[in-house]
Amino acid sequence: MARRTDTRQRMIDTAADLFHTQGYHATGLNQLVSAGGAPKGSLYFHFPGGKEQLAAEALARSGEQLCEALRALLADDDLDAVFAALEQNLIDSDFQRGCPLATVALDAAGSERIREACVSGYSSWHAVIAEFLTRQGIKKARARELGTVALASIEGALLLAKIQRDLAPLRAVAKHLRTTLEKESA
């Protein structure tokens, strides 16, 4: 028999996966419970705030996971490793998985709880990118500014790549960011 925490975590992981590919509104409660392999009553047992609470926690977890991955990929100051991982994620998912937050961020931004989870994820990614840029010799204020441009560019490129089913937008942004980084750190 699965422990309570196993069921709860499995539901969070399942929700993160479904919300990532389908969005918030296209993912139903029955689908969340069924895909998570949990009894119907367990959704409200583990998440008294219902689907909104589950979504916020799933987005928080997705944000943390991508932050950890970004931090690990940029540990060797290799921007190309980030783009290679993003490209591979798109390819492996047949262009179904771009950013783990974007689909829900656009779909359910009216929920304060969900909006806050998205803000937290994006902020953590921005911080990792700004730290990377600072290590490249860029002053902190400029690194924060460029971090915003980089994050927004990557998000847009992921969206375009997913919609077009083509890696070209992501590769164009990678090339532009490498060029910008060379100019800024020279």
**Tokens describing residue 41:** 């009553």
- Taking residue 99's Cβ as centre, other Cβ atoms within 10 Å add up to 24
| pLDDT number for residue 4 | 52
**pLDDT (tens place) for every residue of the chain, 186 residues total:** 445 568 899 999 999 999 999 999 999 988 988 888 888 788 889 999 999 999 999 999 999 999 999 999 999 999 999 999 999 999 999 999 999 999 899 887 789 999 999 999 999 999 999 999 999 999 999 999 999 999 999 999 999 999 999 999 999 999 999 999 999 887
CA distance 126 to 71: 11
CA distance 159 to 140: 28
pTM of the full predicted structure?
Answer: 0.91
As a CATH number, domain 4-185 is 1.10.357.10
Residue 69 contacts residue 84 (beta carbons within 8 Å): no
| pLDDT number for residue 113 | 95
Instruction: Tell the residue number behind the tokens 């689909």, with chain if given.
Output: 103
